[in-house]
A and B are shown apart, each in its own frame.
Chain A
Amino acid sequence: KNEVEQSPQNLTAQEGEFITINCSYSVGISALHWLQQHPGGGIVSLFMLSSGKKKHGRLIATINIQEKHSSLHITASHPRDSAVYICAVRLPVKYSGGGADGLTFGKGTHLIIQP
């Protein structure tokens, strides 16, 4: 079983629509990240959260620790929002290293916003 599950895998919507991308994980975590990857490869961190809700512009991220679930919402979507959105978590100490554990990633949601 994947440790981080994202849905949907692919999403095509019309400009202006409200978008929701979901992320579920299987064990307790220290932090959850939402990342954005545009064609060409560069990854940008959108949010890092461990509880509650964060908002930045038209983007909103929520997390429910008890349900092990997070959502990323995009309001008033625009074609420039077209990208791959990736959920990543920091799992409980998995490696023997000094606290710098790497992230475990979902497979991403490919979002296309059509004009």
Chain B
Amino acid sequence: EVVMTQSPATLSVSPGERAALSCRASQSIISNLAWYQQKPGQAPSLLIYGASTRATGIPARFSGTKSGTEFTLTISSLQSEDFAVYFCQQYNNWPLTFGGGTKVEI
């Protein structure tokens, strides 16, 4: 099973600041990685797939990059609505696996 490790568990930032969230895969997953955002009491929603392709309607301040087995979600200038929990997910191998999440808080 591919283990996905997200760091940090919690990221404290201020509105307008840049946030970088990390997700590391235990083995190569090529670019088969997605990022999701989940706000309290809501279902997750897709942000990015293919490591760097924004889903429909996702603002350009969200970007995804890949370096080997390390993936980064960057939010260039945090807005109030971006404070949430972010999960990564690999879909290169069965079983599909998620990271433990990063909570972005003020």
Bound together = no
The chain B residues found within 8 Å of chain A, CB to CB, are none
